[in-house]
Structure 1
Amino acid sequence: MKELLYYYQDAMLREFTATIVHTGIETDGRHYVVLSNTAFYPTGGGQPHDTGTLNNTNVIDVEKVDEEIRHYIEGDASALSGEVHGKLNWKRRFDHMQQHAGQHILTAAFVELFDAPTVSFHLGSEQVTIDIAVDSLSNEQLAAAEARANAIILENRPIETKWITEQELGHYNLRKEVAVTGDIRLVIIPDFDYNGCGGIHPTSTGQVNAIKILGTEKMKGNVRVSFVCGGRVLAELAMRKTVLADVAKQLSVPEVDAATALAKLLATQKTTEKALVAAKEELLSFEAKALASSDHPIIATSFHDRSIQELQKLARFIVAERPDIIALLVSENEDKLQFVAARGAQVKASMKELAAQVLPFINGKGGGSEQMVQGGGERIIAREQLLAAMQEAIN
């Protein structure tokens, strides 16, 4: 089939004419068309399928099934017959070619510079990733590989393809072993990279335009490198420029000073947050003292929109202030009721027993110790009613 397929004869072919060999419907209901020849690349070798049109019918997927290329279309395949005109979604196709060729170049750069082979490759809709068989990569190594890859692009070396047999493999210094048998397709960047590959690439490295590494992460003992090529570099730059400009505008500083200004802002925020926490603690302490000043042995109070954490702190402050009292606190938060019950060191009543008695009133759940419990449930009674039930449970 290698001599018949347009996408192998001319990777830059955007439109073609072919005849329909047959049509069919998959068990999942998808309609497909098989052509006498095609420029549509089927999913394979890490490269996604092409999309486009056959006459005015959209091609939404392309797969190789057994020895035929199936073009999955929108609508009824029987509407197509005879000779058809195929047209690729060239923006998608060329983007995939740029990313795939860029992967070859960057992978070869890591091998050339650091003897670090790529063990897997993924061409995503936004980024490309390669997993490199090393424990770590320094920023200096990443920069060197990126610079070498872009130098190869700038040299505009040809990207050649060649079909060979297994017996001829020994004549080429391949980057990695070839997994396929029979006719083998090599993708060659002279004096730089020789690799078995069934994917589609531009005809020269210059068409890749540029490569930019975006980041790395550890992945199953390897290092995953994320990057973009060609038009995606410009898209990534535009996105980052927009974000940087917005951040700089909000900080009222030039873009070049945005990182420094943001670091200062975050440092100030952390200091402010610490001061705010301390202030809240002090306010809770004052509130606890005011509540504990009562002569009554039970402090029962309800609130609106107080978190369970605040209720717990307030209860601790109250019983620390007065070891002879019980603190019962309830808060209504949106559609739920929450409560905390705590006893002072001199009180013998069980807070766990109290919780067991009142939780059914709100279809709630809770937990804690004999000294302090917390719980929450549905707001099916008023908070004052829950508070009254808690007081009654003590008596």
Structure 2
Amino acid sequence: MQMLFYYQDAMVREFSATVVKQGIEKDGRTFIVLDNTAFYPTGGGQPHDTGTLNGITVVNVEKVADEIRHYIAEALPDGVDIVKGVLDWDRRFDHMQQHAGQHILTAAFVELFDYQTVSFHLGRGAVTIDLDVENVSESELVAAEALANKIILENRPIETKWVTEDELAQYNLRKALSVTDEIRLVIIPDFDNNGCGGTHPTSTGQVSAIKIMSIEKQKRKVRVHFLCGGRVLSELHWRKNELSQAAKIANAPENEVANSVTKLLTVQKGLEKALEEAKNQLLACEALDLTEAATDGVTGAIYEERSIQELQKLARIIVAEDANVVALLVGNHGDKLQFVAARGANVDSVSMKDVSTAVLPLLNGKGGGSDAFVQGGGKQTMTGAELLEKMKEVF
């Protein structure tokens, strides 16, 4: 078995290698194959590395059959036999921190509660593991996180070892392996033995820290969202900024922001309720004025920038106030016209649908409703006053 650079030393950032072949996939992607590489291909839950080969960007790395294909932004010039590879080290080291952190946290759940991890995902945001249990308590999360960070603080070595199937019996594996050849173990002495083909730092201390962010239920499993290493600091950075801004807005110390925001929201809800009551009182007054202004049982009005919801509420108040009245209301909204037509309970000589049928084609609009109440709107092909007159023509 060829010992690849990323397995020889996961801390290698630059290397030289011989070009074995260059090709183009059916989808048009250009790739090259090298005789050895430090670029890790996507696999085992860990994303691929990126970087450059002779200054050309490596955008993806995949293992295809027995080849590791480096997908590059442009083809290498003809005659190039040797390339220099440079990894995007920030990306690689981040992946190593997250992957090693996953091993540590998973082992902590097994050590403390015998909760097995059945899946693992390493993306751009939080890392996740799915625990094979239906519920995890807050105290269990705290305990597992504390043990994981204890192992990190102890700065234990992270060892890798290739073993045969017969040699596996010497190791207390966290879970059974599905492979029987080219078996690679990642070992944290006296804590975790696990089969894994990913890259890891050389000690637990390089993981820096683990922080569980949240959990969610996934069918009969519990998904744990967590961060490791540099991602913990990034998360802390933006959360600190947000908390500082919130503290300034709330005019309160940072450790009292939640209490201050709760008080502000309580005040806001009270003001919103008072405002709604005031609006209803104003609508009631408007409705009374419009009812008194009715001519031959029909009253109407035109409003600027009033929502359709307010027009609907006003119309309902009018016909509730006088069961013998028809209310026709029009609202101007920039390049749109909206309307509401409602009849009182004692009016049965005409359907409000006749109103919408008469005016909607004029507006190239849409609407709907019942015999007693309709609403609609469309393009401003006429003035609000003209629309109101067209509505009145129905009666």
CA contact under 8 A between 1:101 and 1:208: conserved in structure 2? yes
Across the aligned residues of Structure 1 and Structure 2, the Cα RMSD in angstroms comes to: 1.4
**Which 4+ residue blocks in structure 1 deviate beyond 3 angstroms?**
none
What amino acid does structure 2 have at the position aligned with 1:179? S
Alignment of 1:43-54 (within 5 A): 43-54=42-53
**How much has 1:378 moved relative to structure 2?**
2.1
Aligned to 2:234: 235
Aligned to 2:90: 91
Aligned to 2:371: 370
Q: Secondary structure at the match of 1:390?
A: helix
What amino acid does structure 1 have at the position aligned with 2:254? E
How many pairs align?
A: 393
Q: Using the alignment, how far apart are the partners of 1:77 and 1:279 within structure 2?
A: 73
Alignment of 1:25-64 (within 5 A): 25-64=24-63
- Residues 9-45 of structure 1, C-alpha deviation per residue, up to 9 Å, x if partnerless? 1111111111111111111221111111111111111
Q: Secondary structure at the match of 1:61?
A: strand
Aligned to 1:257: 256
Q: Using the alignment, how far apart are the partners of 2:50 and 2:251 within structure 1?
A: 45
Judged with a 3 Å threshold, the aligned counterparts in structure 2 of structure 1 residues 75 and 207 are, in CA distance, closer, same or farther, namely same
**How much has 1:4 moved relative to structure 2?**
2.3
TM-score (norm 2): 0.96
Aligned to 1:165: 164
Alignment of 1:1-395 (within 5 A): 1=1, 3-79=2-78, 81-296=80-295, 297-348=297-348, 349-394=350-395
Q: Using the alignment, how far apart are the partners of 2:147 and 2:334 within structure 1?
A: 59
What amino acid does structure 2 have at the position aligned with 1:356? T
Judged with a 3 Å threshold, the aligned counterparts in structure 2 of structure 1 residues 259 and 206 are, in CA distance, closer, same or farther, namely same
Judged with a 3 Å threshold, the aligned counterparts in structure 2 of structure 1 residues 22 and 232 are, in CA distance, closer, same or farther, namely same
Q: Secondary structure at the match of 1:291?
A: helix
- Residues 312-336 of structure 1, C-alpha deviation per residue, up to 9 Å, x if partnerless? 1100111111211100011122332
Q: Secondary structure at the match of 2:119?
A: strand
**How much has 1:55 moved relative to structure 2?**
2.1
Of stretches 373-382 and 279-288 in structure 1, the one that deviates more from structure 2 is 373-382
CA contact under 8 A between 2:294 and 2:325: conserved in structure 1? no
Q: Using the alignment, how far apart are the partners of 2:94 and 2:78 within structure 1?
A: 31
Q: Secondary structure at the match of 2:105?
A: helix
Q: Which runs of 5+ in 2 are unaligned?
A: none
Q: Secondary structure at the match of 2:74?
A: coil
Q: Using the alignment, how far apart are the partners of 1:389 and 1:275 within structure 2?
A: 38
CA contact under 8 A between 2:341 and 2:375: conserved in structure 1? yes
CA contact under 8 A between 1:40 and 1:62: conserved in structure 2? yes
CA contact under 8 A between 1:358 and 1:393: conserved in structure 2? no
CA contact under 8 A between 2:118 and 2:130: conserved in structure 1? yes
Q: Using the alignment, how far apart are the partners of 2:31 and 2:310 within structure 1?
A: 63
Of stretches 43-52 and 329-338 in structure 1, the one that deviates more from structure 2 is 329-338
Q: Using the alignment, how far apart are the partners of 2:22 and 2:180 within structure 1?
A: 30
What amino acid does structure 2 have at the position aligned with 1:375? G
Judged with a 3 Å threshold, the aligned counterparts in structure 2 of structure 1 residues 199 and 366 are, in CA distance, closer, same or farther, namely same
CA contact under 8 A between 1:58 and 1:74: conserved in structure 2? yes
Of stretches 60-69 and 218-227 in structure 1, the one that deviates more from structure 2 is 218-227
Q: Secondary structure at the match of 1:108?
A: helix
Of stretches 232-241 and 178-187 in structure 1, the one that deviates more from structure 2 is 178-187
Q: Using the alignment, how far apart are the partners of 2:23 and 2:78 within structure 1?
A: 12
Q: Using the alignment, how far apart are the partners of 1:177 and 1:140 within structure 2?
A: 28
Q: Which runs of 5+ in 1 are unaligned?
A: none
CA contact under 8 A between 2:290 and 2:300: conserved in structure 1? no
Q: Using the alignment, how far apart are the partners of 2:381 and 2:174 within structure 1?
A: 70
Of stretches 177-186 and 308-317 in structure 1, the one that deviates more from structure 2 is 177-186
CA contact under 8 A between 2:149 and 2:210: conserved in structure 1? yes
TM-score (norm 1): 0.96
Q: Using the alignment, how far apart are the partners of 1:184 and 1:341 within structure 2?
A: 77
Q: Using the alignment, how far apart are the partners of 1:124 and 1:339 within structure 2?
A: 50
- Residues 154-199 of structure 1, C-alpha deviation per residue, up to 9 Å, x if partnerless? 1111111111223333332222221223221111112211111110
Q: Using the alignment, how far apart are the partners of 2:171 and 2:65 within structure 1?
A: 30
**How much has 1:152 moved relative to structure 2?**
0.8
CA contact under 8 A between 1:23 and 1:78: conserved in structure 2? no
Of stretches 226-235 and 295-304 in structure 1, the one that deviates more from structure 2 is 295-304
Q: Using the alignment, how far apart are the partners of 1:180 and 1:280 within structure 2?
A: 71
